Every structure is written in structure tokens, then in C-alpha cells.
Structure 1
Amino acid sequence: MKQYKNILIIKMSSLGDVLHALPTLYTMRQNCPHARIVWAVHENFSAVLPGKPYIDDLIYIDKKKLKSLSYIKDLRKRLHAYGFDLCLDLQGLAKSAIVAWCSGAKEKYGYWEMREGSFLVSKGLAGPHKQDHVIERYLDTVRVLGGTVDRVEFPLPSIAAEKETMRQRFAAAGLTGPYIAVVPGARWDVKEWPLAQWSEFLRRVTATGMAAVLLGSPAEAGKGRTICDSVGSPLVYDFTGQTNLRELMAAIAMSQVYLSADTGPLHIANALKKELVALFGPTSPDRTGPYGGKDGSYIHLVISPTSQATPEHPLIDDPACMAQITTDKVWQAYETALRRVTDDQSAS
């Protein structure tokens, strides 16, 4: 691979998508150890990005201002100052195409799915994993450029301080022992497992003496309250909407098992190599499911049996899809995941 000196990676959103791009960052750093690597991102997703030695600088992009000529002019001036010789647009949308154009990079590439006219600015690179998981599609950009991809790794920032903060907060709430982490919400309602089924599952969990911590964004706080009221157990601790992004990472990292549908925190759990149970129905786990985590690929997936999405058709707009995943199926996957954690702890 050519030894590029100044590299811009564009992946601005969303949370899961940014995390999916981290293995490409890792591989680019392995192939260009002396390059200056800059990442363009929306500020609210920047907390999951690592600093040096992987990223030398961050550029925050305000998507609302990308229609402003004065903003684009200022952005172009800022980016040109880096003297980029390579720009990797892993977003592949009109907004990222504007950033790529502003970069002034001598070589502009993206992965093969360049949409919304972004292919007019950056050349899409199709590699051997064109139809595989999106992480592999991103990594194909490095492969096609002559780089070596020997493994899937997720470089993450240190969350040691946030772990201590969350330990103290959990202790103040009465939680000092092991727990599972649950995120009941998702970006789209159609991807969510019904709250009644989450409640039924958590009643089984707490009946065994295992605590559960509910996590999620402020927009999901109502779901947390509904589940707590329904379960009626002091072993359910509701922290939905009460953590920042790195505190959320810390809470997931310290859990025994993580459970959720297809949502951003799921990909945090995967990057942290946690045992997890992922509930997929209207989206395709083959394309965006947990990958490259604890076992190098999937860990435990519970997929809707009759309305399963495929990589070619990644979204099924069926509100009843997720309800087809039974509590028994999730319980069986959870028991398997917990048993693996227990076995690993005994072995160590």
C-alpha cells in the first residue's frame, strides 16, 4: 500500500455506523503507521472514537450548515490546511461528498455503495467482500488500495474514569453485584422488541437473582419506566437517559451479558467483545449484525422466524415482525450467553 502522509476518514454518523468503521481505522493505521489520520464526524458521536495513536485530529461537521456556502468555504479552508493525499468517504452520501470535495485530497475513495451522487466526488472501491457484512465492505477500501487486512479490531477510547463513575452511581442505587445490560429502545420503532415481552423476560431474569440495568437515550426514558413498573422488582435499575455516551460504554463493559435489538449500543457491546444477545427482525444481521467481536463473528442472535431481512432487502417494514421473537427464544439465548460468561470466569 502507498505510504500516505495525511489521511481523512469521513464517517459522521450514526453511532453504529461509526463503530462499524473502526476496524478500517485500525487497519489503515497498521498499513500507514506514520500517517496523520484525521476523522470527520458529527460531534455527538465523537465520544466512541479513540485518540492517538489511531486518530491524530477530529473535525466536527455540522450537517445543518452544509447547505451554507460560507460554512463550506470555511470548511474547505480548514481541510485544505492538512494537505490530504487520501480521503476515505465511508458514509457515501451527499453530505459526506461535500466534505470529501472540501478536503482537497489528491485521491478520494469510498466503499462501493456510493449513494446520493457521492460517486461523482469519490471513487467507490468494490472488493472481494462486496456482498458481505458492512465492516468487510469498508475494509475492502484498504484491500483494493493494496493494504493488508489481517483481523477485525475496534480501537476504542479509554473509559476507566467512566467505569469508576458508574460503579459509584450503581452502588448509590443499591447495585453492587453482577448485572445484565438491556437497551429496550431503538432508532426505529419497527426494530424494537415489544415492551411487554421485555418485561416478561426480565421477570424471569430477576427471579433468578440476577440484576438488570436498563440503558438508552433520554428519548427512551419512558420505555424504561414502563418496564420497571411492569416488572415490579428492585433488581431492575433504570438508567435510561441518565448516562453520556462513554458512561453508557462503561455500563455495558461491566455487565455480564448485553441484550437489545438492532441499535447503536449493540455495536458498542460488540466492539467491547461482550457476550450478547441481539434481536433482529426487520434488518439483516448478515449485513449489520454483531461482527468481529468475541468470537470473530456473530455471538448470539435471535432472529424473527418468519419476517427475516436479507442483505439484499435489509429492511422489512412490518410492525409485527419483532413480536414474533418469543420470550422463550430470548431466554434460551440468554442462558447460553450467561453460561459462557460463567465458564470463562471459572477458567480464569
Structure 2
Amino acid sequence: MNHPERILVIKLSALGDFIIALGAMRAIRTHHAGAHITLLTTKAFESLAIQSGLFNDIIIDQRPKKFDPAGWMRVRNIFKAGRFDRVYDLQNNQRTALYFRLSNMTKPKPHWAGTMAGATWRDVISSKATEPAPLRHARLLALAGIENVRDDDLHWLGGDHDVLRDLFKIPEPYVLIVPGCAPSRPEKRWPADHYGDLARRLYGWGLTPVVIGTHDEQPLAQTIITHCAQAIDLTGQTALSDLPMLGRFAAGAIGNDTGPVHMIAPTGCPTWVLFSASSDPKRHAPQYPWVRTIQRSKLDDLSVNDVMNVLKARDFRT
């Protein structure tokens, strides 16, 4: 009796990177249609991974510390118990390089697709710092015989227009405002006062500003509302799975280089992303023709007039 092929996909973080990798994950599932596919990821993305329907099992990475022999033994046991035929490493960092070494201590050793020396299918082009992740993923998978890697439009997260109206009751047309970012990266955040002034001007164009983010970003929303009382605060009220639905029916979206923007852009929503010098739009911006970027060395130096000079009312969906 032939057993299904056993595949492990590794993608740990962050949110935007996880969303970008979904196209590669779907291509792996299509290529290995009858396989038993396991995802090794972090707790934050477990729900999205389940909803995607791409995986038979999900293992949560426990991220062992450098001096944690028991933790590293648990990682080794993932490979020992999994008896994987193939591993697709879509993370390719120092941590997964260690995982690769641990996998080599098991029998049978899995075939590995990644950037590490000794990998079965090795992407030796050192372009990680300058090249968008989708191109890297497509090239790596092509080495392993997987073609037609395409972006995932997040259609599987669903939500039609009636659901949107019932859940959020937003006056249309509306524009999404994403003023937050990772707390550890304040240099990637355009000032909330600027977003407030922008929201006021967008309302003057007949667009309802809708602020989205986590509960911790509610103070940013309140600052925006002091400038534009008509803005709607949805911070802390949406799940990650709600963001594609909001993007699907929005007139547009404007935000910082942060994960929620990567969940909005695949839906076809006209999107403007604001960048500081701390990250490269060519590498980190969502790679769609309807996404535009605006960059300054310091986002504090980006004025509202600068942004308005890029935005055009006709570029928003109506």
C-alpha cells in the first residue's frame, strides 16, 4: 500500500510575509494534491492557515532559545515523527538553517528546498535584500518542479456586500486608513495627526474614512477623529479575516508598511503605502499594479500636501 507523500512547509512570520507566501503555499498544495501537508508556523497565523484549507496539519513553532537543549530536541522530534519526504522552507533565515541541520539528523532525511548549502533544491541567488518575496518563492519552487506560482487573492476569506453592511454599517463609499505598525518599528509610522488631516480632506471628496487596527491602536484612531469627526473607528473591532472583505468593497486604502495593508491589497483595492527609509518598497510593497508607494527618509518629513499631490479622486473606486 502506497502512503501519501508527506510534505512540510515552513513559514513563521511576519503577517505581511505570511500573506505574500500564500501564493507559494497554494502552488505547493496544487502540485502535491494527494499529499499530507503540514505547516510549521507561529501561533498568530494558525487561524488563517486553518481557514486557507491548504494544510492537513499545523504545528506551532515553539521558537527555542539558543541555550535550550530540550527545545531544540522538540524541533528535532518534529522531523523525526513527521517522516517528511519534502520540506519547503519559505522562511529561509538563521532559525530555519538550524532546523535544516536538525532534519539531517533524522532517517530518512527529507529533500529540502531552501537557500542553505546542502539543500536538495538550493536557491543560490543572494537577492533576499533586494528582490520581492514572490519572485524568490517562485524561483525556489521552480527548482523543485513547481510552476505557476500566483498571488493569492484571499477569496477564501469570503464575506459579501450584505455581510459587510450587517457587520460594520459603514457609509459608502469609504476609504480604509491603516495608521499603525509593529510597536517595535515606530519609524514606519506616519504621524496620526497627518492621517487625521488626510481623513478630513478625503471626507471632503465624499469618502468616509474608516480607521482599522488593533485595540492598542485606538489612540491613533481617536487622534484622527479629532481632525475628522466623520471618521469611523474600527480599531480593535475587526479580525484579520475581516480585512479582505473590507478591502474588497472599499474605494481605496492608505496606510503604513504593515501587515494589514498586505491583506487589503490582494483584493484589488487601490492602495497607497507610505514608506520610510527603513524598508525598501521594491522589496516590501505589495506587488500589484493598483498599489502605489510614497517614500521619504523620515515619515515625519512627509506632509499631507505631499500625499494629496499623489492621490487623485479618480483613482478611488466608486
The answer to whether the superposition gives a TM-score over 0.5 is: yes
- CA-CA distance at 1:225 after TM superposition: 1.1
CA contact (8 A) 1:50 1:155 kept: no
Instruction: Give the counterpart of 2:221 among 220, 224, 230.
Output: 224
- State the one-letter code of the partner of 1:247: D
Query: In structure 1, what is the Cα distance between the partners aligned to 2:272 and 2:17?
Result: 19
Match of 1:200 in 2: 197
Query: In structure 1, what is the Cα distance between the partners aligned to 2:164 and 2:202?
Result: 22
CA contact (8 A) 1:126 1:141 kept: no
Match of 1:312 in 2: none
CA contact (8 A) 2:131 2:282 kept: yes
Q: How many pairs does the alignment contain?
A: 307
What SS is found at the alignment partner of 2:311?
A: helix
Instruction: Give the counterpart of 2:315 among 336, 339, 346.
Output: 339
Query: In structure 1, what is the Cα distance between the partners aligned to 2:156 and 2:224?
Result: 31
- CA-CA distance at 1:266 after TM superposition: 1.3
- CA-CA distance at 1:219 after TM superposition: 2.2
- CA-CA distance at 1:224 after TM superposition: 1.0
Question: Mapping of 1:22-33 within 5 angstroms?
Answer: 22-33=22-33
CA contact (8 A) 1:180 1:210 kept: yes
Query: In structure 2, what is the Cα distance between the partners aligned to 1:220 and 1:65?
Result: 30
- CA-CA distance at 1:301 after TM superposition: 1.6
What SS is found at the alignment partner of 2:92?
A: coil
What SS is found at the alignment partner of 2:317?
A: helix
Instruction: Give the counterpart of 1:106 among 110, 114, 125.
Output: 110
What SS is found at the alignment partner of 1:341?
A: coil
- CA-CA distance at 1:65 after TM superposition: 7.0
CA contact (8 A) 2:215 2:236 kept: yes
Give the direction of change, closer, same or farther, for the CA distance of 1:169–1:146 in structure 2 (3 Å limit).
closer
CA contact (8 A) 1:178 1:210 kept: yes
Answer with 88-97 or 186-195: which moved more. Answer: 88-97
Answer with 327-336 or 159-168: which moved more. Answer: 159-168
Query: In structure 2, what is the Cα distance between the partners aligned to 1:61 and 1:128?
Result: 26
> Is 2:123 the partner of 1:147?
no
Query: In structure 1, what is the Cα distance between the partners aligned to 2:62 and 2:294?
Result: 37
Instruction: Give the counterpart of 1:270 among 265, 270, 276.
Output: 265
CA contact (8 A) 1:8 1:40 kept: yes
> Is 2:282 the partner of 1:286?
yes
What's the C-alpha RMSD, in Å, of the aligned pairs?
A: 3.1
What SS is found at the alignment partner of 2:176?
A: strand
What SS is found at the alignment partner of 2:223?
A: helix
Question: Where does structure 2 lack aligned partners over 5 or more consecutive residues?
Answer: none
Instruction: Give the counterpart of 1:322 among 299, 306, 311.
Output: 299
Question: Where does structure 1 lack aligned partners over 5 or more consecutive residues?
Answer: 308-320, 343-348
Deviations 1:258-290 (A, max 9, x none): 111111111112222321111122211111111
Question: Mapping of 1:100-139 within 5 angstroms?
Answer: 100-101=100-101, 104=106, 105-111=109-115, 124-127=122-125, 131-139=130-138
Match of 2:56 in 1: 56
Deviations 1:40-96 (A, max 9, x none): 111112333365663232211232678644444344434433321111222223433
- CA-CA distance at 1:340 after TM superposition: 5.4
What SS is found at the alignment partner of 1:181?
A: strand
Give the direction of change, closer, same or farther, for the CA distance of 1:255–1:49 in structure 2 (3 Å limit).
farther
